[in-house]
Amino acid sequence: MSAPAYLPFARPTLDDATIQGVAAVLRSGWIASGPQVAAFERALSEYFGGRPVRTLTSATAAIEVALQVCGVGPGDEVITSAQSFFTAPNMIIKVGAKPVFVDCDLATRNIDLAQTAAAITPATRAILPTHFAGLPVDMDGLYRLAREHRLRVIEDAALAIGSSWRGRRIGAFGDLVAFSFHPNKNMTAIEGGALVLNNADEAKLTEKLRFHGISRLADGTRDVDVAGGKFNLPDVNACVGLAQLARLDEFTAARRALAEHYFRSFHTDPPCVLPARGHPGDEAGHSWNMFAPLLPLGRMRITRRQFIDAMHARGIGIGISYEALHLSTLARRFGYHEGNFPNAERIARETITLPLFPTMTFADVERVCTAAAEIIAQSRL
């Protein structure tokens, strides 16, 4: 009997129609930003209730531009979670500001708003939370805090397109919201991102910041009045994004069904700490970009690396989401060290990301659960 096919922890869903659409764009000769980008931005704006949306080359670029739109720079502080991807602190530092980390909740993995409130100083300009794995932050609490202190909010929604808070789509309300279309996200544009904005002025500024700071003058010449970068999305990517957006609800429904099957099927001895299903009374808001339990390493004879290797040997891909940001070499320069944020550090030590993508089957989920249970049982102290 042949070995089962390798099961990665993430895989994009690309159909023949999308591939044919890309070929048509390539044949058109217009492959940089053009009509497909304009159409994608219109479709995203409609999806987010008519708010202005501008595409960029990544969510990282979107967050950098969002910080610039908010006027964040040297001497400013931005509060963010110690448990997320490296994008947030990297971009805060890149624009010259200081990242101020706070801990996360152990179950939701989202930013601790009580610690956020305590971290606010006269230098604080913005809060930059991540909707971890697609589970929204407590939006009521977040924006109540921001209004009280007159702070901007830049939502890192890289993992959260398709998520909602009390029936309202993430991105359809709030302040600035950044999305990712990387291949391991809930929808892809090969690479790419988008920034949801508040008004036409912010959209115009974003257009300049994503393309060299250029403004076109009435006589056909150009001027630059702000230092911009080069973050414009190609039409090829936008073509893929349009096709993916049309199927996003389908993808999200599949992810939610697979996550529920993980909850039914994932039982280990000793037990793992499973992710939160959602907020009480609002479980349907989670779009499930990832399913990331915590290993019971204190009751196992093997390390996480050895567990991952054992899963790989069974043809199952495993990721790590995420490292503790305050312990990176870059962040330590700001005086952070071990012990600052216990929940973020525990997650960083124990987390694994299990396979989860729309074309998986329930049998695939059961295969993952069986393999993990056997490896953990064999290594039990």
Cβ count within 10 A of residue 208: 18
Sign of dihedral through CA atoms 330, 335, 338, 344? negative
The pTM of this model reads 0.97
Q: Which of 7, 11, 2 is nearest to 364 (CA)?
A: 7
Query: CATH: 3.40.640.10, 3.40.50.300, 3.40.50.1100, 3.40.47.10. Which one for 16-246?
Result: 3.40.640.10
Q: Where are the alpha helices (DSSP H) in 76-199?
A: 87-94, 113-119, 139-149
Cβ(162)–Cβ(251) below 8 Å = yes
Q: Which of 314, 335, 316 is nearest to 326 (CA)?
A: 335
Cβ(272)–Cβ(295) below 8 Å = yes
Cβ(156)–Cβ(63) below 8 Å = yes
Q: What Cα–Cα distance (Å) separates residue 69 from each residue in 39, 137, 199, 206? A: 23, 22, 12, 7
CATH of domain 248-378: 3.90.1150.10
Task: Please report where in the chains the tokens 């290594």 appear, as a residue.
Answer: 379
* Euclidean distance between CA atoms 134 and 121, whole angstroms: 29
Sign of dihedral through CA atoms 95, 175, 157, 115? positive
Known catalytic residue at 208: no
Beta bridge partner(s), residue 100: 79
Cβ count within 10 A of residue 369: 18
Q: Which of 163, 156, 130 is nearest to 61 (CA)?
A: 156
Domain range list for the chain:
16-246, 248-378
Task: Please report where in the chains the tokens 């074309």 appear, as a residue.
Answer: 359
Among the options 94, 98, 185, 204, which is catalytic? 185
Task: Please report where in the chains the tokens 């990665």 appear, as a residue.
Answer: 8
From first to last of the 381 residues of the chain, give the pLDDT tens digit: 667 899 999 999 999 999 999 999 999 999 999 999 999 999 999 999 999 999 999 999 999 999 999 999 999 999 999 999 999 999 999 999 999 999 999 999 999 999 999 999 999 999 999 999 999 999 999 999 999 999 999 999 999 999 999 999 999 999 999 999 999 999 999 999 999 999 999 999 999 999 999 999 999 999 999 999 999 999 999 999 999 999 999 999 999 999 999 999 999 999 999 999 998 888 889 999 999 999 999 999 999 999 999 999 999 999 999 999 999 999 999 999 999 999 999 999 999 999 999 999 999 999 999 999 999 999 999
